[in-house]
Structure 1
Amino acid sequence: MINELQDKFMELQTDMVEIALEYVNWKADCIYIYGSIENDAITADVFYKINNKVYLKYKINEANNSFDVSIERQKGLISICVADMTKVKELFEAHDSDVPTEIRLTYNLKAEKEKFQAQYNYDPVTALDPELTTNDVFTQWYNEVKKEVES
């Protein structure tokens, strides 16, 4: 039963990574996926490292590329990630397990080892602070990575 949970959970994470990679035609150094399941809301967002710079999904063309960053394509990317996060919630609930409130996935295409890293949080992230939104948390993570990569 636990192996089934872990296997299906990994499949959902893999799907999010694949759709994020497809969005940039596999032309990123690293992808970062944020997902939140909290306060009866499910959200997701993605950012990228390309040529040692960090970009939000709609700014990746600043990396001297010609990606399709149309609103429809952005909505499609986020829609699939949110659908996968919804399935994560349903999966954990079906197995009577605690549902993660936050998921941070990193997939490094340039690394030889540890290409995939995942961080999970099961404690409230935004529920205890009415001023804090999941977008704030995503932006904080983006800014931390950007500072680390571009310094």
Structure 2
Amino acid sequence: MKEFEDKFSELQADMISICMEFVEDKADKVYVYASCEEGMISGRFYYCINNTYVKPHKVNDALEDGHQTIDVSPERGVAVLKIICGDIEEIEELCKEYGRDMPTEMKMIYDVKSGGFQAEYNYDLVHSIDDVKTPGAFADEWFEEVKNNNL
């Protein structure tokens, strides 16, 4: 039987994989923000392509001229988010099964060229104790931080 860490890693890899599929493997870096708190699950994904940081619906703006256009329709974006949120739900179940704490926030960065993966986990309440910001607002703030620091 696979250990907790293996299953956890597999689910994170699945999130990165679906994001790479969305962008047809043309990203230099993939960023995934996952949130699971007080019964609410949320996910966001972003890219760095040709040193340009973009949200999924803007990936074509970062591609070099002559490259085919990627389908960035809302339907495709929602399909990716459904998979990401499904993976978050599975991580939540996995944590329950193994008696582990579920991260309230996961910030994942995958460097396509080096194959490097880094993740930051938070176990404290984030958005449910904020009366104003949604999980998406926290995701967008993280992406701004990523852009500003060239992560």
TM-score by length of 1: 0.91
Please give the root-mean-square deviation of Cα atoms over the aligned residues, in Å. Answer: 1.6
Q: Structure 1: state its 5+ residue gaps.
A: none
Q: Partners in 1 of 2:97 and 2:62 — Cα distance?
A: 42
TM-score by length of 2: 0.91
Instruction: Please name the residue that 1:110 is paired with.
Output: 113
Residue 129 (structure 1) shift: 1.5
- Higher mean alpha-carbon deviation, 11-20 vs 120-129, is at 120-129
User: Percent of aligned positions with the same letter in both sequences?
Assistant: 39
Residue 149 (structure 1) shift: 2.7
- Give the AA of the match of 1:120: Y
Residue 146 (structure 1) shift: 1.6
May I ask how many residue pairs the two structures share in their alignment?
A: 147
Does the Cα contact within 8 Å between 1:53 and 1:149 map onto a contact in 2? no
Residue 143 (structure 1) shift: 0.8
- Give the AA of the match of 2:19: A
Residue 142 (structure 1) shift: 1.0
Q: Partners in 2 of 1:59 and 1:100 — Cα distance?
A: 29
Q: Structure 1, residues 87-119: CA drift from partner, whole Å, max 9, x if none?
A: 0111101111111101111000123xx710011
Runs of 4+, deviation exceeding 4 Å: none
Q: Secondary structure at the match of 2:119?
A: strand
Q: Structure 2: state its 5+ residue gaps.
A: none
Instruction: Please name the residue that 1:63 is paired with.
Output: 62
